[in-house]
Structures are given as C-alpha cells and as structure tokens.
Structure 1
Amino acid sequence: MKPSSALLPFLSLALLLQACGASDRKKEAESQQKAGPRPPARVDAFLVQTRSLSEQIEVPGTLVASESTEIHPEVSGRIVSLNVREGAVVSQGSLIAKLYDGDLQAQRRKLQVQLQQAQTTVDRYSALAKIGGISRQDLDVAQLQISNARADLEIINTNIRRTEVRAPFTGKLGLKMESTGAYVTPQSVLTTIQKTTGMRIDFSLPEQYIGRVQKGTWVNFTTTNDSRVYSAQVMATESGIGGATRTLTMRALVKGDQTGLVPGSFARVKIAFDPNPNAIMIPTQAIVPQARGKKVYVIDSGTVKFVDVTTGIRDSSFVQVTSGLNVGDTVAITGILGLKPNAKAIVRKVVNAPGGNRNTADTARPAGAKP
C-alpha cells in the first residue's frame, strides 16, 4: 500500500531530521575522540576521624501534683456548712463540708436510750441470775439486745460521719463549685485538692532513646512562666510504649525548691546522655540524599566510590554517621555534582588534615600531567 500524496512531505521531513541528528552525533563523537578523555574532577575532601560527641534532646513534659483529686460527698443531702477557702492549704482531715443529718442524730439519740435501757435490764437480770431468780436464757436474751443496740448505734454513727466531707490529704484547695444550701449527690463536685509538695513531671521519650534512660536518671526542665532550671529524677515508667506515638511515658520526681511550679504547667525537658568518645562526624554537605537512604562520595586511591551511610544526630554544620564509613576514609565535600561512580578524582586539599589544610593536588596528579 503506497502512502498518500498528502503524507509524502511529512515523511521526507522526518527522514531529513533523522539524517541530520545522526550526522551531529557522529561529529560530537569525533570531537570527543580528538579532545581525549575527560580530565579528573578536582574536589576538597574531609578525612574521617572520631571525636567525642555529647548528645542532648528536648521533649515536652507536664507538671503533675503528687496527689490530686476531686472532692465529692459520699451521700446525697443538703449542705448546711461549707468550709472551702479557695486557694487555701488545708490539713488532712479538715472539715470541708457538712450535710444535713438531723434525722440521723434523732435515730442516734433513740438508740442511745435503748442501749441504756438494755444495759439496765442486763444488770438487773445478772443480779437475779446469781440467786436463781431467772433462767440463764433470759439473761442471754437481754445481753443480745445490748449487742444489737450497739451495732445499730455504730451504723448510725457511720452514716453521720459520711455526711462530713473531709480533706483526704494535706493540700491546696481549688475553686468552690457548690454553695451552702445546695442539694448535692455523690456525683457533685464540691471542689478540688492538690498536694503541691513532692511534685512530678511526666514526659514522653522517643522509642530510640528508651534504653538510654533508666530509673534514677537525672533530667532538667524549664517552664514557660519561669526561667529557672529545675532538676528531676526518673522514678517510674509506663508499662508499655504508646502505639500511636511510639513513645514511652516517664515520670520524674522534682527535687529541690519547687516554689513557682503549678500542676498542669507545660515544661521543656532536657535530657543529656553520656558522651560518645568515638563518634564519626562529617560535614553536612558531604551527604547526598537518595530516594532510598543517603550516600557519600569516598575518594579511594584517586577513584570515586559511592557508599551508603546511616546518619544519627546533627548540628549546624556536622552530621553523625553511624554506619558505612571507617576512620581514615576520605570523603568529598566540594565538587560533588561532577562526580560519578568509579571515575577518577583529584583531592585538592583535605580541610581537616593534621597541621592545617593540606594541598594534595600535586601529589595526586596523574603521571605525565602538566602542572
């Protein structure tokens, strides 16, 4: 089948362009052959060495009181007395509120009279029993009535005590939530109380640092409303790592003066780890990010090698390499874009060479090359 006459001009143009492209590629190859091989790239390098590295992290924390709870009445009733001094410190056992107990007091007086009458009856029966005036069974029944009256009286006394709301521990009261005359139930909140001594601080530690913080480890922290630096000692940890955050909640006991610390305040917790005396640190510009991981260019006997590395912590100009490099390796830090695997390279200078920057361009120049 022959192409139509309308397509002939386009086919001719395509063939002409293809011929021109082949001719250009041939000329480029001939020019490269005449020019000779590409000269080695010239780079500045960094000699891999070890040094002491002090690591410190900062994590958020929250101040918590050693004891904290809401104050609820045990029974329902009307408040007849409310002794909530907002913000005041009260001692353990102090009376905070009193509910109406008139009916219970009446029952207690009735039982007290019954107990006295039962005791009188037992005393009389005891005297008669000594002379055989009554049977032993009658005396036992009278003594049983005394025991029952005492038990009923103890129940009433317990119910009366339940109308008294007392401080469970020494601490600072919060705001008053009810007033005198209000009818309250066990679900009603009268106020709150927090123990302000022996405060704790809770913070979440990332999973990779868990093995480096143990019970007894010291941490420092600051709060947003105070510039002072406080110290705390880790006292306990949560039972497991949080699945959503991949962190472990830790609790530390605040030591020293705790004046100015408020439960619930946000804190910045700083944890300083033991220094690593053999850390490998290289300049950040030597790291080449890849789609899967990171690489560096190592110059080995004038040849470029791509090396996969794993990095750790970093600062403004250096990054820690935890795997992939050895002490004594020469890492390129300039001219990286012009390097290719297994290509030749000339190290112009080693920026951290002993005794100052060392120019190695002449010593590394290929034999026969002109200076």
Structure 2
Amino acid sequence: MWKQWLIALVLVAVAIGGAFMYQNLDDGDAAQGGRERPASAVNTRLPQMETVRDVVNAVGSLKALNAVELTTEVSGRVVQLNLETGRRVEQGEVLLRLDDRQARADLQVIEAQLADARRQYERAQRLRSNNSISQSQVDELRTAVDVAEAQRQSARVRLENHRIEAPFAGVVGLSDISVGAYITAGTSVTTLDTTDRMELGFSIPERFLGQVSRGQQVRGASPAYPDQTFSGQLVELGSRVSELSRSLPVRALIDNPDGLLRPGQFMSATLTLRQREALVIPEQAVMIRGDEQYVFVAEDGVARRVSVNLGSRMPGFVEVSKGLSQEDPVIVTGQDRLSSGDRVRVLEDDKAIPENRFITARES
C-alpha cells in the first residue's frame, strides 16, 4: 500500500516541477521579447559635389590628318635618298632625287633657243618701225618667243620631277628604295603622314543629334596604351544619318604630341555632351525595390529611408539629382538589413568602399 502512496507523491512532485519550469520559460521569453533590437553597425559617406558628364561611348579608327603615298613622275636612277623611316620632315624637304643631267641639258638648250627667238623678235620690231618687214613676219617671231617660253616651262617641270619633296610636314613611312636603283615612273617610294593630330572617325546614335555640336570634348583610349587617355574635340558632323545603323558619322581631332598613335589604329571614344557640377554618392549605397530607388540616411542613430532620383553614372559613383543634400550621411554598408526607424551604430572605416580600378577613368 505504501508503494502506491510513494508513486503518487513522485507524480505530484514531477507535475509541480514541470509547471514551475514552464512558468519560468514563459517569463524568459517575455523578457527577451521586451528587450530592444541591438543597433546595426554601418558605415556612412557624405555626398560630394563633383564634375558630372553626360557622355556617348563609341569606337572608331584613326586616320592621319594629311596622308599621301609618294610616287615618281619620271623614270631614272636614284642619286640621293633621304627616306629614314619614322623621321619627321618639314614641308619642301627633298626626300629623293633622280639623275637629272639630261633634263638640265634639255633646259639649257631650250633657254638658248628662247634667247635667240627674243633677239630675232626685237630686231624685227626695229625693222618694222622702218617698214622693212611686214607685220605678219613680226607676229610669227612673237609666236616663236611664246612657244620657246612654254617649252622652257615644260623643261623646268621635267627637271623638277626628278626630285620628290615633302608636300607637308610629317613622318616618313617604310621604303624599299636604295641609292643607285633604277625606278620607273609611277613607282611608289614611301608614305608621308601628319601625326601631330589624328582624325578619329566614329558614329553616334541619332537620338543624340539634338545634343551634339562642334567643339565638344572627346576623350580617346587605345588598347595599346591602357593607362593613358588622349584628348581632342569634335570638328565635323556628317550630313546624313545611316539608314542601316540609325547613326550619324562624325569626326574628331585627337592630340598626338608624342607620336604614340598611328593611322589605322583602333580607338574607343567618349564624347562629352554636357558637363556640370552635381552631387554624387557611392553606387553601392543605392537600393532598388520595384520602380523605387532609395538610400538610407543615418540621423541621430536611426536609419531613415529616402527616395532619390538618379542621373548619370560613373565608375563606382552615381549622380543624385533629387532627394539628398551634402549634409546627409548616406549609409553605404549594412543597408540591406535595415528598415526605416532601425537603430544604427556608425563605424569609422576608410575602406568601407572597395578600391575601384576604374577610378582613374572617372578622374580623367
């Protein structure tokens, strides 16, 4: 009998202990639920005023501003050669001369004939004053003088054609000609290019026609020089829009003072349509939900959600046209876990924003 009482007492004790533990558990949950959510650690950045550009990106090819393939006008043997590849020459500098002894002799003969024709014409004029010869004879002698003068001019041209001069200042190209070689008329001697400024041809979409004008800034980049940009300006606009590409061909002049760029080279171009001072923030601070773009601003230890209107984008940064001021500390890290009204704890960390390898492109 006493065993039954013992079992009953144990059951009652277990029930009382369970009820006590359940009550303590409810009290702990209630206390935990009543405590505030801990402040989220975040980093902030103030918006900055920077130069913002509306740009159009395109690709094109470079051409020399002046380019020519030099060829011989007459046949002959090369006696003088001044064609060092890559050398810069001035306008009028002699690049090649052929043996011109025969041409000089022909010119001397014609000059002698011209002198004789002039003497006969002058004698005939004196005789005509005395009516010793007819006017028709005088006219014939005058015609002979004119013919001799024309022949002299032709001989001078033939003599000049035995040498090739630089038609403009530029850089000499490759040549396979050597001194002593006999070349025929029409033989290609070398090329000559003006490379101080290069012509860059590219096309822009027709939707930008209303914003394009001569004189706008153009920046070029070449895969051959990845860490360098080349500046220039827009100089020519095409008169027709391509029906196939719906784009307008344009031309820009790119400065090339060091001679790094060469004709035919590929180049990407950035045309600046408009430039202004505007607020910019790190691109990583922007949150998107549906059609809304917003950021979080830290105010007195509390996160506040602010809708913003964005403008042009740059590497790592974006323009804010509406919604922020320069005094608003924008949260740039941890914002994806925040809601408006949450408590925040601002940390000081200069490396909160990763280094951007395109930062040089933005600054240039």
Normalising by the smaller structure, the TM-score range is 0.5 to 0.7
Q: Which residue of 2 aligns with 1:219?
A: 218
Q: What pairs up with 1:151-166 in 2 under 5 angstroms?
A: 151-166=150-165
Q: Is the 8 A contact 1:284 1:319 kept in 2?
A: no
Q: Which residue of 2 aligns with 1:146?
A: 145
Q: CA RMSD in A?
A: 4.1
SS in 2 for 1:200: strand
Q: Which residue of 2 aligns with 1:108?
A: 107
Superimposed CA distance per residue, residues 127-174 of structure 1 (whole angstroms, 9 cap, x where no aligned partner) = 433444333333332232222211222122222223322111011111
**One-letter code of the match for 2:85?**
E
The alpha-carbon distance between structure 1 residues 219 and 148, as it changes in their structure 2 partners (threshold 3 A), is: closer
Q: Could you list the runs of 5+ residues in structure 1 that have no partner in the other structure? A: 1-51, 288-295, 298-311, 321-326, 328-350, 360-371
Q: Which residue of 2 aligns with 1:137?
A: 136
Partner Cα separation in structure 1 for residue 197 and residue 234 of structure 2: 13
Q: Is the 8 A contact 1:284 1:318 kept in 2?
A: no
Give 1:176 shift: 1.2
**One-letter code of the match for 2:231?**
S
SS in 2 for 1:185: coil
Q: State the TM-score, normalizing by the size of structure 1.
A: 0.55
Q: Which residue of 2 aligns with 1:82?
A: 81
Q: Is the 8 A contact 1:173 1:193 kept in 2?
A: yes
Q: Which residue of 2 aligns with 1:9?
A: none
Q: Which residue of 1 aligns with 2:234?
A: 234
Give 1:228 shift: 3.0
Q: Is the 8 A contact 1:90 1:172 kept in 2?
A: yes
Q: What pairs up with 1:119-134 in 2 under 5 angstroms?
A: 119-134=118-133
Q: Is the 8 A contact 2:196 2:259 kept in 1?
A: no
Give 1:259 shift: 2.0
Q: Is the 8 A contact 2:64 2:199 kept in 1?
A: yes
Q: Is the 8 A contact 1:241 1:248 kept in 2?
A: yes
**One-letter code of the match for 1:64?**
K
The alpha-carbon distance between structure 1 residues 314 and 183, as it changes in their structure 2 partners (threshold 3 A), is: same
Q: Is the 8 A contact 2:67 2:191 kept in 1?
A: yes
Partner Cα separation in structure 1 for residue 162 and residue 317 of structure 2: 68
The alpha-carbon distance between structure 1 residues 247 and 284, as it changes in their structure 2 partners (threshold 3 A), is: farther
Q: Could you list the runs of 5+ residues in structure 2 that have no partner in the other structure? A: 1-48, 293-310, 324-334, 343-364
Partner Cα separation in structure 2 for residue 105 and residue 316 of structure 1: 68
Partner Cα separation in structure 1 for residue 270 and residue 225 of structure 2: 17
Give 1:76 shift: 4.3
Q: Is the 8 A contact 1:61 1:203 kept in 2?
A: yes
Partner Cα separation in structure 2 for residue 244 and residue 177 of structure 1: 42
Q: Is the 8 A contact 2:220 2:254 kept in 1?
A: no
Give 1:67 shift: 1.1
The alpha-carbon distance between structure 1 residues 161 and 315, as it changes in their structure 2 partners (threshold 3 A), is: closer
Give 1:225 shift: 1.9
SS in 1 for 2:188: coil
Partner Cα separation in structure 2 for residue 150 and residue 57 of structure 1: 61
Q: State the TM-score, normalizing by the size of structure 2.
A: 0.56
**One-letter code of the match for 2:139?**
D
Q: Is the 8 A contact 1:226 1:260 kept in 2?
A: no
The alpha-carbon distance between structure 1 residues 74 and 286, as it changes in their structure 2 partners (threshold 3 A), is: farther
Partner Cα separation in structure 1 for residue 199 and residue 205 of structure 2: 19
Partner Cα separation in structure 2 for residue 54 and residue 88 of structure 1: 39
Q: Is the 8 A contact 1:79 1:184 kept in 2?
A: no
Superimposed CA distance per residue, residues 313-336 of structure 1 (whole angstroms, 9 cap, x where no aligned partner) = 98999999xxxxxx9xxxxxxxxx
Superimposed CA distance per residue, residues 68-126 of structure 1 (whole angstroms, 9 cap, x where no aligned partner) = 12112234444443321221111112222223444433432222222222223233333
Q: Which residue of 1 aligns with 2:251?
A: 251
Partner Cα separation in structure 1 for residue 229 and residue 190 of structure 2: 32
SS in 1 for 2:218: strand
SS in 2 for 1:190: strand
- Matched length: 252
The alpha-carbon distance between structure 1 residues 138 and 237, as it changes in their structure 2 partners (threshold 3 A), is: same
Partner Cα separation in structure 1 for residue 101 and residue 60 of structure 2: 49
Superimposed CA distance per residue, residues 211-247 of structure 1 (whole angstroms, 9 cap, x where no aligned partner) = 3322221122233326233322111122323344443
Q: What pairs up with 1:51-90 in 2 under 5 angstroms?
A: 55-90=54-89
